[in-house]
Amino acid sequence: MRELLKKFENQQPEIVFEWSDSESEAEGWLVINSLRGGAAGGDTRMKKGMEKKEIIQLAKNTAIKYTVSGPAIGGAKAGINFDPKDPRKEDVLRRWFKVVSPILKSYFGTGAGIHIDEAMELIPLTENFGLWHPQEGVVNGHYKSEEPKKIQKIGQLRYGMSKIIENQEFSPSPTSKLQASHLITGYGLAESVAHYYKLWGGSLKGKKAIIQGWGNVGAAAAYFLSRAGVKIVGIISLEGAIIDNNGLDTSEIIKLYANKDKNKLVSSRLIPFEEGTKSIWDTEGDIFIPAAKSRLIGKSELERMMAGGLELIASGANFPFAENDIFMGPVSTHADDNLSLIPDFISNVGIARMAAYLMSDKVQVTDEAIFQDVSKTIYKALKRCHEVNPKRSQIARTAFEIALQQLHE
Q: Are residues 135 and 182 in the same domain?
A: no
Q: Are residues 38 and 102 in the same domain?
A: yes
Q: Are residues 193 and 243 in the same domain?
A: yes
Q: Which of 365, 370, 374, 372 is nearest to 346 (CA)?
A: 374
In a domain, 301, yes or no: yes
CATH code of residue 187: 3.40.50.720
Q: pTM here? A: 0.96
Q: Which of 273, 268, 252, 341 is nearest to 305 (CA)?
A: 341
pLDDT 10s digits, 342-365: 999 999 999 999 999 999 998 999
How far apart (Å, rounded) are the C-alpha atoms in residues 19 and 264? 32
Q: Are residues 404 and 315 in the same domain?
A: yes
pLDDT 10s digits, 214-241: 999 999 999 999 999 999 999 999 999 9
Element (H, E) at 160: helix 147-160
In a domain, 4, yes or no: no
In a domain, 3, yes or no: no
Q: Are residues 127 and 50 in the same domain?
A: yes
What is the per-residue pLDDT for 409?
67
Domain total for the chain?
2
What is the per-residue pLDDT for 105?
97
Contact 141, 38 (CB under 8 A): yes
Of 130, 162, 194, which marks where a domain is finished? 162
In a domain, 392, yes or no: yes
Q: Go through 135-147 and write b for each residue having 16 or more CB atoms within 10 A of its CB, e for each that does not.
A: bbbbbbbbbebee
What is the per-residue pLDDT for 395?
98
In a domain, 2, yes or no: no
In a domain, 404, yes or no: yes
Of 135, 162, 189, which marks where a domain is finished? 162
Domain span including residue 331 = 170-408
Distances from the Cα of 56 to the Cα of 12, 62, 64, 77, 398, angstroms: 9, 10, 13, 7, 23
Q: Are residues 86 and 145 in the same domain?
A: yes
Of 142, 162, 182, which marks where a domain is finished? 162
- The amino acid that residue 198 corresponds to is K
How far apart (Å, rounded) are the C-alpha atoms in residues 180 and 69? 17
pLDDT 10s digits, 78-108: 999 999 999 999 999 999 999 999 999 999 9
Contact 101, 126 (CB under 8 A): yes
Q: Are residues 193 and 57 in the same domain?
A: no
Mean pLDDT by 10 residues, the chain (409 residues): 84 97 98 98 98 97 97 98 98 98 98 95 97 97 91 96 94 89 97 98 97 96 98 97 96 95 93 96 98 95 98 96 94 98 97 97 95 98 98 98 89
How far apart (Å, rounded) are the C-alpha atoms in residues 192 and 314? 7
What is the per-residue pLDDT for 1?
73
User: In a 3-state reduction of DSSP, which class is residue 308?
Assistant: coil
Contact 156, 363 (CB under 8 A): yes
Q: Are residues 126 and 248 in the same domain?
A: no
